[in-house]
Amino acid sequence: MSTAPFPKPLLADLVALIDTVLDSINPSAAVYLNRNTVDAAYAGYVFGLVLAAVERIADTNTVQLRSAQAVQQQTSPNVFIIRGSPGPLSSTTQDFGFAFFQYRGVAYEVHLGVQYRGSSGVLHEFDVSILPADAADQCRSSNKAPGPAKACALFECKCYSNNLGIELGREFVGLKTDFTSVPMARLVTNADSDSIALFLKKTNRPKLSVRLAPNNLEMEQEFVFAVADELRNSL
């Protein structure tokens, strides 16, 4: 690690460039930007990639978008609504969007930001999750959160400006211990983390996808192929 002072001429150039970027920020734009909405938007993006993976393995013409207030309707909603904060799968307070697909004749749903009941009895939320459609229907009719063994795949999504701290890796590993029978769990981020990569390398820990963003087509493809493979083995 270098501790030498930053070279002055270079710093002057950087200051001018930074000022150009600052000048471009419109004070009246992005009025609802906050940590929750950033995470929800990133989770929505990951949801789109998970759908791309699902389309690689799903039974032909079975992938559809649906919504909470029209569960059985087979046409996509005009507006796709993402949860800005976690909530129950059964909630119809908003027409939350989700995806439906079949794999080897079994129906599944892909949800954003829904809560599951862990083996401890505590509710936990997952940014993106896949569960059998009959388990989802059961939740809707009983108004209860899906139990610890219901999810088939869990994704935790983190959109950060610099490397993730190790605490986020610890948190997800801790969370996963409340869902030991879930076969597939993945921490997904636009950033990177050497520490978390090492931490998650150990057997039976969640997998890690780093530098996943639209400007990184290679990582997007890698993610889609990896998730499709894992789903083939997990569903």
Partner 1 sequence: MISMADESVRDVVRRVRSTLLEKGPAGSFLLAELDAAILRGTDDLPVGARSGGQPSDTPGNRSPNDAELIEIIYGVFETYLVTLPSIAASLTTHLRERFGVDHCEITLDRSLLGDELQLAGRARIDAIVPLAPDKQAAEALRNIARLLKRTEE
Question: Rounded distance, CA 188 to CA 143, Å?
Answer: 29
Alpha helices in 90-179 (DSSP H): 133-142, 166-176
When asked if residue 7 is in the footprint of partner 1 (CB under 8 A), the reply is yes
Q: Which residue from 97, 69, 67 is spatially nearest to 83, judged by alpha carbons?
A: 97
Near partner 1 by CB under 8 A: residue from 134, 171, 194, 229: 194
Residue 121 Cβ, how far from partner 1 at the closest point, in Å?
Answer: 26
Residue 183 Cβ, how far from partner 1 at the closest point, in Å?
Answer: 26
When asked if residue 72 is in the footprint of partner 1 (CB under 8 A), the reply is no
Contacting partner 1 within 215-234 (CB under 8 A): 215
When asked if residue 71 is in the footprint of partner 1 (CB under 8 A), the reply is no
When asked if residue 122 is in the footprint of partner 1 (CB under 8 A), the reply is no
Near partner 1 by CB under 8 A: residue from 57, 68, 69, 77: 77
Buried-exposed string 199-210: b where 16+ CB fall within 10 A, e elsewhere: bbeeeebbebbb
CA distances from 102 to 55, 83, 172 (A): 10, 24, 28
Near partner 1 by CB under 8 A: residue from 11, 70, 122, 123: 11
When asked if residue 70 is in the footprint of partner 1 (CB under 8 A), the reply is no
Angle between helices 217-234 and 35-57 (to 10 degrees): 60
Contacting partner 1 within 131-170 (CB under 8 A): 159-166
Q: Residue 22 corresponds to which tokens in the numbers above?
A: 């600052």
